[in-house]
Amino acid sequence: MNKIQFSIDCRYFFVILAVLFSSYSIAQQKYVIDNSNHFWDKVQFGGGLGLGFGSGYTNISVMPSAIYNVNEILAVGAGLQFGYLYQKNYYESFVWGGSLIGLVNPIPEIQLSAELEQVRVDTDYEENYYQPGFSDSYWNTALYLGAGYRTKNVTIGARYDVLYDPNKSLYGSGFMPFVRVYF
């Protein structure tokens, strides 16, 4: 092997090494850039707040929730619900529980939702002309399917409880409007 052929072979060797190491360093750089998308960057907090007052009637509800944006189309999450209802001379009720939430945005302006809700209802009925006073406690399960118009972090729409039973449901109707806000 002569000196010229050895120097050419060495150049090929160094070129191959340079290509391998530069590819390795670029791959490492891309990995670091791709790793910047953290779990908490995809989490949003929000929920609902309800206040209703009337002649002898009070309804207060707090419903915090959190969702994880799997991608631009799908989000999943969980929520809590706390409520107080009072009707003068009739009943006082405490509601607490949780829910699992699924949100789908087929296009940015439309949001479809499914929410499985399980709440405990503890009610004390006052004695009146029609009935003696008594207490009632039960679990209420609801499966809400809904749709709404979405703009940025606010969605306005309606949902329907497909498990609604007028004799057992917590609410007077299976149909409910909603305003959903996530930050």
Residue 23: predicted pLDDT: 45
Residue 13: predicted pLDDT: 56
Tokens of 58: 């009070």
Nearest-angstrom CA–CA distance, 38 and 33: 11
Q: Are 3 and 55 part of one and the same domain? A: no
Nearest-angstrom CA–CA distance, 43 and 45: 7
State if pTM tops 0.85.
Answer: no
Q: Identify each DSSP E strand in the chain by its residue range.
A: 43-54, 57-69, 74-87, 91-107, 110-125, 134-151, 154-161, 175-182
Nearest-angstrom CA–CA distance, 6 and 34: 42
Q: Are 89 and 159 part of one and the same domain? A: yes
Q: Collect the ranges in the chain with pLDDT lower than 50.
A: 3-8, 17, 21-35
Residue 122: predicted pLDDT: 95
Range of the structural domain that residue 178 is part of: 39-182
Q: Are 153 and 66 part of one and the same domain? A: yes
Q: Are 160 and 84 part of one and the same domain? A: yes
Q: Are 144 and 103 part of one and the same domain? A: yes
CATH of the domain at 84: 2.40.160.20
Residue 98: predicted pLDDT: 97
Residue 120: predicted pLDDT: 96
One-letter amino acid at 117 equals E
Q: Are 123 and 52 part of one and the same domain? A: yes
Domain count, the chain: 2
Q: Are 103 and 123 part of one and the same domain? A: yes
